[in-house]
Amino acid sequence: MAVSRTNNEPRTAERILDIAERLVQTRGFNNFSYGDIADELGITKASLHYHYPGKAELGRALINRYAARFAQALERIGRDHREAPAKLEAYADLYAEVQRGERMCMCGILAAEYETLPQAMRSAVISFFDDNQKWLATVLAGGQADGTLAFAGSTEDLAQSILSTLEGAMLVARPYGNPERFNAIARQLLASLAA
């Protein structure tokens, strides 16, 4: 019997994260409880606490998993696309895909709740954005060097601007329920960088 329980533990932990991620991306971190997850999974709150002792631990696990998936997506973009404009378009598509699912970037929504988050979660949100900005700066530097991108200013500043624009475009498009609002901003942003 113990073997059966051990085999189910990773699946239960992942299912908890799946539900919590959806809740964060649609409601925000502060607008769901362990009871919401337990009800949806059909388990007790005590079972949730077995996997994630508190909401802060759950939140940190969510960010770590989300950041790892995002990093894998960035690696895939790097492998699949040679030129900087195509990499930037694929990057914007990551955000568009989340929005098509009627969700927000998880770290973007957590940034809106930043002041109310536990410290470990705050640090993880900042790390997510820092990692994205570093990746973008590298892509921008490559595009500038090979002549496929043209822009003024530092790659670091522009990377921050791209990240902020995409996150903000998601937020502003959300109440309209129209992904085209986001897509129009993303297209305009990318067009402004074309050499």
Report pLDDT digits (tens) over 6-50: 456 679 999 999 999 999 999 999 999 999 999 999 999 999 999
Residue 64: burial class (beta carbons within 10 Å; 0-12, 13-18, 19+): middle
pLDDT at 9: 66
Digit-coded pLDDT (tens) for 87-124: 999 999 999 999 999 999 999 999 999 999 999 999 99
Q: Which of 141, 133, 134 has its CA nearest to residue 165?
A: 133
pLDDT digits (tens, 9 = 90+) for 1-11: 333 344 566 79
**Cβ atoms of 141 and 131 closer than 8 Å:** no
Return d(Cα 19, Cα 114) in angstroms, integer.
Answer: 21
Report the pLDDT averaged over residues 139-156: 97
Distance CA 124, CA 29 (A): 14
CB atoms within 10 A of CB 6: 9
Q: In CATH, what number is assigned to the domain containing residue 18?
A: 1.10.357.10
Angle at 131 between CA 89 and CA 11, to 5 degrees: 90
Q: What is the pTM of this model?
A: 0.91
Tally of domains in the chain: 1
- pLDDT attached to residue 22: 97
Q: Which domain holds residue 103?
A: 2-191
CA separation for the pair 39, 54 (Å, rounded):
17
* Per-residue model confidence (pLDDT) at position 5: 40
What integer best gives the mean pLDDT of the chain?
Answer: 93
- What does the block give as tokens for 130? 């820092």
- Specify the 3-state DSSP secondary structure of 81: coil
> Which among 158, 161, 151, 133 has a CA at the least distance from the CA of 194?
151
